[in-house]
Structures are given as structure tokens and as C-alpha cells.
Structure 1
Amino acid sequence: MSIRTVVTSIIVALAAIGLVSMMITSPGQLVKQLIFAAVSVAIVMFLFRLFMGKRTGGNTENRAYSKAVKQSQKKHPNSKTKYASARSTSLSTKLNKKPIRRKDSSHLTVIEGNKGKRRTRASSE
């Protein structure tokens, strides 16, 4: 065993002995100490999140997602209203209507290659 595990085991054993002896001698004092420790930890965590959240700029994933949503809404301004009105219609009208097909202009271009020509490969010789 390493020295760390031995030291950790000794500390845990002493803490358990102290906890048991305090439960036997003065349980009211033990409850007060546990409540004080829990409140102290909660205050420290709240302050840490408050100050560190401002320093790091908050949740970067959420910020990136909201930025992407804004860009998408700028690119397709009417898409939100089309889908909202489509959801509000009843089931019977949905079955009777044909689905709306959107045709977006593609930003990809086709590069013509020489697919018809066969390559000479080393394995085919």
C-alpha cells in the first residue's frame, strides 16, 4: 500500500472514532456542528459560483447555442411562424393537407469529375 492510502485510512478512522464518541457524549453539539458545517459549505459554494461564473463568462455551451439560434433566425425569418401555425392545426386537417416542402438554395457546388474513366490499378495488371 502507498503512504497516501495509509494516511487517508488513519484520518478516516480517527474521524469515525471522534464522531462516535461525540454521538455518545453530546449529540446536541454534534447536530449543531453538522448544521453549521452544511450552512458554511453552502455559502462558500454560492459565493464561489457567483464570482467564478462572472469571471469565466458563464456557460459557454449555452452561449454558443443561443448565438447559433439567433443566426438561424436571421437566415430564415419566417420558418418559426410556419411551424407554429402547422402545429396548431387539428389532426384531421393535417391528414388532408400535403406536407409543405421547403426548397433552400444549396451552398454546395458540384464539381464535375471523370467518373466514366477507369483508373489503371496495380492489382488489375
Structure 2
Amino acid sequence: MNRPVSFLVYGIIFLGAIGLLGNLVSNPAGFIKNAVILAITIGIVIFAVKRLTKSKPNAQHERSFMKAARDSKKRLKTRDAAKGKADNVQSFSLAKMKRARNRNRSDIHLTVIEGKKGKKKNRALF
């Protein structure tokens, strides 16, 4: 902020503080009454705003995410159950199976982003 505006803001705050202290000294019951009324009004406004804005704009996105998370958990449970049955049925050793699985499948899901492969790089910029 520039200097004259900041002086104006500080002056208003200072005068407000003097007014509050003067009201507190001259009429403490009225001051407390006004403070309670202000707190109740602010509480009602906050309650009304939260109540009216209960439905979020991203509610559909959150529901989709929760559904996907549930489906993923189900899929993992069925895969783990099937893996447990397969381990009991097969005659391979457990260590051999783990090594084979680790080589064949990776849990990392990567996406390839196509770039400008045909464009030559200007080495002078590096």
C-alpha cells in the first residue's frame, strides 16, 4: 500500500479502538450486550451460509472418485483371493513365483507424452 492510504487505515483502526475502550468504560453492560448480539448475528450468518452452500460444486467429482476407490478395493480383494488360491494349487516354489511376477508385471503406471521428436534442438540455447 502507498503511504497516505496506510496512514488512513491505521487512523481509522486507532479511532475505533478508542471508541471501543470509551464505550467499555462508560457503559460496560451495553458493550457486553452489543458484543453478544454481534456474536450471535455472525454465528447465524455463518450457519446459514454453510447450510445453503452444503452442495459443493465438486460433489459429482467426489462421488465419482469414491466409486472408483470402492471398485479398486474390490478388484484388489478379488485379485488377492485368486492369487492365494493359485499359490496353494500350483507346485512351484513361492520364491520362484515371486521372481517371475516381478519380472513380468510392474505396478508403475506411466503415460507417454508425445513431444516434438522431429524438431532439431538448438544447442546454442543450452
- Shift of residue 28 of structure 1? 0.4
Q: Which amino acid aligns with 1:69?
A: A
Q: Which amino acid aligns with 2:22?
A: S
- Give secondary structure in 1 for the equivalent of 2:36: helix
Q: Distance in 1 between matches of 2:41 and 2:80?
A: 47
| Structure 2 match to 1:10 | 11
Q: Provide the rounded CA distance (Å) in 2 between the counterparts of 1:57 and 1:11.
A: 41
Determine the C-alpha separation between the residues in 2 that align with 1:25 and 1:63: 56
CA displacement at 1:78 relative to structure 2: 4.6
| Partners of 1:43 and 1:55 in 2: CA distance | 20
Q: Which residue of 1 aligns with 2:40?
A: 39
Once the two structures are superposed, what CA deviation does each residue of 1:62-121 show, in whole Å capped at 9, x if it has no partner? 65653442131232235899xxxxxxxxxxxxxxxxxxx8x698377xxxxxxxxxxxxx
Aligned to 1:77, the other structure's residue is in SS state: helix
Q: How many residues align?
A: 87
Give runs of aligned pairs for residues 86-105 of structure 1, distance below 5 A. none
Q: 1:66 aligned to 2:93? A: no
Unpaired runs of 5+ in structure 2?
82-97, 109-126
Counterpart-to-counterpart distance in 2, 1:27 and 1:79: 71
Q: CA-atom RMSD, angstroms? A: 3.4
1:106 aligns with 2:93: no
Distance 1:50 1:57, change over 3 A: farther
* Distance (whole Å) between structure 2 residues aligned to residue 65 and residue 44 of structure 1: 32
In proportion to residue count, which structure has more helix? Answer: 2
Q: Call closer, same or farther: CA 1:76–1:12 in 2, change over 3 Å.
A: same
Gaps (5+ residues) in structure 1?
82-100, 109-125
Percent sequence identity over aligned pairs: 20
Give structure 1 regions of 4+ aligned residues with deviation exceeding 2 angstroms: 1-4, 55-58, 62-69, 77-81, 103-108
1:49 maps to what in 2? 50
